[in-house]
Chains A and B, each alone.
Chain A
């Protein structure tokens, strides 16, 4: 099999792995996949970067990636690593994932330092707490529709 074809298949397999805290949102769309190397004889190396280095989901995500890639035809060995660089930033989250987070989880993504729009009504929200249920999220409220919104931030 050509390495291009194998790499495509592996990439597709990695994209089936969802974030454990956001079922339905792929870790690829969250920007966690940094590198993917394949050799003609089926050795695969996947490099991932964590949103936060203390994230407790790292081993779970790596396990999920390993089993997804393992199941791909033509794969002989899989090496999954968490890389120390580059540093993950919220702007690595794709437009698709941002839309899904807003629609399915009422979670906004904060890019830069400007106001954060409410995922329900679009009005600017007010920050209530720098931290929510995880270090990568703040808690905001919407003064217009009263929604309690979580905001992903770098």
Chain B
């Protein structure tokens, strides 16, 4: 058995001192729930993102892209796999319950996966803008995360997401260097995906945010969001693309960019499973789960192999 704490104050003092909680520790229930919900959403998002990526395997323009999309799909599904194991170890839901809740629309996944990727340009925008936003959020967790098993998995996930970002940059550069048709397609994708990517960070963090207090997240949403805007606005402009934000302002003294007012309604709709593509995505993921039932059955019924490996 792991450690115990006499009170919440005692536990919080442990966290404030840089303490790391392990799975067999007797952590306060509210903390366990908060960490679990966070991991569950991350895991679901990796799975839904992986399935989105998979949709593009037969549709990539060229073999090099196909290789990258194949590998990225495996990465994302692999991340989901690792995270579901870490989540299930917290003894709140079994892995099966987590999956069933996702398919029943009872648990969350990132807003960006509630939209449809209609063109290759959309896929490039996702790997360029969305992956960067997701990576920035994950880094903010990893930096100071008080839950050990998640922190260790995140370290590996972040290194791989960093690699995806480089692939995204490569895809973006290629399209920016392309024909007028390609550039027009990509501008349309930027127009469609800019706001969902920005909303991925969420509204400004509340002062009493337990995720901050319990050292699950180490940076406020608005700080991460502002940093992302500061990076991508000048970058896209340097390639001759425009950013679909009429309220965008530039301060020449500090050379900094600030986004205009953000409409949070679309984010709220996705969280309520009412995004433009939510229903189809969830149904698709559930159908995929049903279609692959035979694989799980075969593996579950192969104890000899598992025992052989351990022996």
Contacts and interface: CB of A to CB of B under 8 A. Distances in A.
Interface of A: 20-23, 54-57, 59-60, 104-107, 115, 124, 126-129, 131-135, 137, 139, 141, 146-148, 150
Given A21-B160, A21-B163, A135-B74, A148 B85 contact: yes
Nearest to A56: B71
Contacts of A104: 155
B206 to A, nearest CB: 32
B72 A146 contact: no
B262 interface: no
Contacts of B85: 128, 139, 141, 148
Interface stretch (B75-83, B106-114, B176-184, B188-196): B75-83
B70 interface: yes
Interface string B246-288: 0000000000000000000000000000000000000000000
Nearest to B80: A133
A126 B85 CA distance: 13
Given A107-B156, A150-B156, 6 more contacts: A106-B153, A126-B306, A134-B71, A134-B74, A141-B85, A146-B149
Contacts of A60: 163, 166-167
A124 B310 contact: yes
Contacts of B162: 20, 23
Contacts of B153: 106, 148
B160 A23 contact: no
A105 B163 contact: no
Contact of A133 (B23, B68, B78): B78
Residues of B contacting A: mostly? helix
A57 B163 CA distance: 8
Contacts, number: 86
B174 interface: no
Closest 5 CB pairs of A and B: A133-B78, A56-B71, A20-B163, A56-B68, A133-B75
B156 A146 contact: no
Interface in B67-99: 67-68, 70-72, 74-79, 81-82, 85-86, 89
B24 A146 contact: yes
Interface of B: 23-24, 64, 67-68, 70-72, 74-79, 81-82, 85-86, 89, 149, 152-153, 155-157, 159-160, 162-163, 166-167, 306, 309-311
A57 B162 CA distance: 12
Contact of A56 (B72, B79, B149, B311): B72
A17 to B, nearest CB: 14
Given A60-B166, A133-B78, A148 B86 contact: yes
B71 A131 contact: no
Given A20-B163, A127-B309, A55 B71 contact: yes
B151 to A, nearest CB: 10
B71 A139 contact: no
Contacts of B311: 115
Nearest to B161: A21
Nearest to A106: B152
Contacts of A21: 159-160, 163
A134 B75 contact: yes
A131 B75 CA distance: 10
Contacts of A57: 163
Contacts of B78: 131-134, 137, 139
B3 to A, nearest CB: 14
A58 to B, nearest CB: 9
6 contacts: A56-B167, A129-B81, A131-B78, A133-B78, A139-B82, A141-B85
Contact of B71 (A23, A54, A147): A54
